[in-house]
Amino acid sequence: MHEPDGYLSTDERDDVIASLEHLRRCLITSQTKSEEWKWAILAAHAALCGALVCVTAGTAQVGCLSDKSRARMIAWLHSDFSAPRPPERLAEPAELLRRACSRTHSDRRGPPLRISVNVLRDLARLHEFRNQLMHFRPLGWSIELAGLPRMIGRAVDVAARLMRSIDVAHQLPDEQLRRLDAVLEQVHSLLSGDG
């Protein structure tokens, strides 16, 4: 995406790719600095949540909003626009995941996402880690590193499946697709220990 001087230009799809690119940098640096795993967790979580937004947004771009926010936006979109635009609030990540896995989510065109209980458990644990790290309370905390590559890898795999789904892939220009494919290959290599 061409960025004019003095501006950060992005969109929900580019943000997923940028999060994955940041994850790649964190994984490289984590080989010598274990504190980089914090940023790897945050980047993987951001990529997953961004991909969930992309796949659930729908054509009106309201399918990723909380139920109340979505209802207000739909009413506003069907109005004469004389009232101010209502504030938009994203649905919680667990709700976005539920919608992505739902056959009845009306804002999806593609088939529902299918994930195993073990993957779901790892995604929930990654979300817990993300919340603890983003809203850090005064405490000492140790996270066992052994399970992080698996959890992060599963989040990346789900994000990749969502970004390649019929709901999203057609919106990605060739340049974004190339970036997505390249960074996914590099991240998988780093997580498997080949990188």
Closest CA to 180 of 172, 189, 171: 172
Q: How far apart are CA 151 and CA 156, in angstroms?
A: 9
The amino acid occupying position 179 is R
pLDDT in tens, the chain (195 residues): 556 678 888 899 999 999 999 999 999 999 999 999 999 999 999 999 999 999 999 888 999 999 999 999 999 999 988 999 999 999 999 999 999 998 776 666 778 999 999 999 999 999 999 998 888 767 777 778 889 999 999 999 999 999 999 889 988 999 999 999 999 999 999 998 765
φ/ψ of 187, rounded to 5, equals -65, -45
pTM for this entry: 0.91
